[in-house]
Structure 1
Amino acid sequence: MFLAYAAYMDFTVHQMDVKSAFLYGKVQEEVYVKQPPGFIDPNFPDRVYKLDKALYGLHQAPRAWYETLSKHLLENGFTRGAIDQTLFKRKEEKDTIMVQIYVDDIIFGSTNPLDQSESGILIHQEKYVKEILTKFKMADSHLVKTHVEFRHCLTPDVDGESVDQHLYRSMIGSLMYLTASRPDIMFAVCLCARFQANPKLSHFLL
């Protein structure tokens, strides 16, 4: 019905896949998990973690993700369908924006062509890049034409200081999300992602 309406109103339908969707869902119940390998606190190895957000494999994960996303849409002027509660729409004067959710897959479109232009996506991407650079204190970094040479061989920096692996993994995760629209950094990011478990190599890469 969504596609039939889009064809009738002659507007383009876009599709997006939310990366790691279930990890965004807020858990309402008290859920505890044991410390995973690589993240065990040496001072308290017998303690467990209390989850703030969902994990893949939890029965609550799909529902928590849907509630988080639907809450965001409702707070931004969308209304939920009375029959199909995965359909959201928002009216702006004579135009309508429609969003259809199926777990982590989303299709959306608008009767206003301006809402579907690439400019909005590019603006969002630019903001995200600035947030990453500010978060990791790299806003003053110098630009380079080539991020890293192909067939580049990495070696440990045995004399360097070990870096915070959680911080390093956070950087990689942020950049992985960006590679969906920035294929030019895909090789460099994937290369760095191979060495997340070695703090000496992490220091070398940074």
Structure 2
Amino acid sequence: MSSGVSGSNSAFRRRVERAAELRAVRASGSTAQENDELNAAEENLRQKRAKIDDAAKAEYLIRDAMAQGKFDNLKYAGKPIPGLGEAYDPDWWVKGLIRRENISGLGPKAILLRTEDAGLDARLDAQFSEKQVREIVEDFNARVIDARRQLQGGPPVITKTRDVDVELDRWRGRRAAAAAVAPPEPEPKRPWWRRLWSGAG
């Protein structure tokens, strides 16, 4: 911004302050001369506003905000704006909210099933019996089939069903591998008085 524009902005600010003072005087009961001064100041202010174009106003407001530090530490400062080059998605806000807030249980079924499918192995590994694993996989398959049958719109359901027997075999294999890798439990150390009593160190 040129120095002429910044100088005119400071003059503009002084006139605004003067107009505010004159309004306060008018509200407190003013004379005819003060009313004339106020009207002249307001008219001058209107003319000044008409002369300043919108680009200069925007430039002034941006520079003023930068001087106050309002643009410091912005979330995406120096980084690309996410989703800028992608095609328009009408559900962008909802998907972003679900991702940001880590909300589970809300959203299109296709997305929820994909998320659940990604974490299904870990969920199965936390189970202790084959019956529990079988029930979880059967429930997952039923929900995938149900989502494919519904015609409510939204993204397509591309999540595949899982074979219960194959998942049981994989679960058994993962449990056996985890048991083989797990270190043996150390032999509990005897209390000091037993070691002294038996004469062992």
Q: Name the TM tier (shorter chain).
A: under 0.3
Alignment TM-score, normalising by the size of structure 1? 0.23
TM-score by length of structure 2 reads: 0.23
Higher RCO (CA < 8 A, seq sep 6+): 1
